Amino acid sequence: MSRPFYRVTRDLHLYFGLFISPFILVFAVSVFFLVHRLSQNAAVDARSTISNLSLPTDLEDLSGRPLVDRLIPVLRQNGIEGELGWV
């Protein structure tokens, strides 16, 4: 391997690493805060309840996508936004 090629690739590796490291740090911090909720938010979620919720009668027989399709209108009727399970 020639000496100039080694020096150029070494410098590119160094400067690319220095350039991308702040983005990786911001990503790591944001993932930590998004995945690991603060205890105050978890306490609020545990206290919120909905009463008089009318559910379809055949929910026990359904699974997968048909179950999600049956529950999405229930969420919309009650003004709940967000995901249902992993969907």
* Cβ pair 32, 24 in contact under 8 A: no
pLDDT of residue 48: 63
Q: Give the residue extent of every domain in the chain.
A: 1-48, 51-87
pLDDT per position as a tens digit, 52-62? 777 878 888 88
pLDDT of residue 6: 93
Which alpha helices (H) appear in the chain, and where do they start and end?
A: 3-35, 39-47, 65-77
* Cβ pair 53, 74 in contact under 8 A: yes
* Cβ pair 54, 71 in contact under 8 A: no
Using DSSP, state whether 59 is helix, strand or coil.
helix
Give the side-chain half-sphere CA count within 13 A for 55. 10
- Whether the model clears a pTM of 0.85, i.e. scores above it, the answer is no
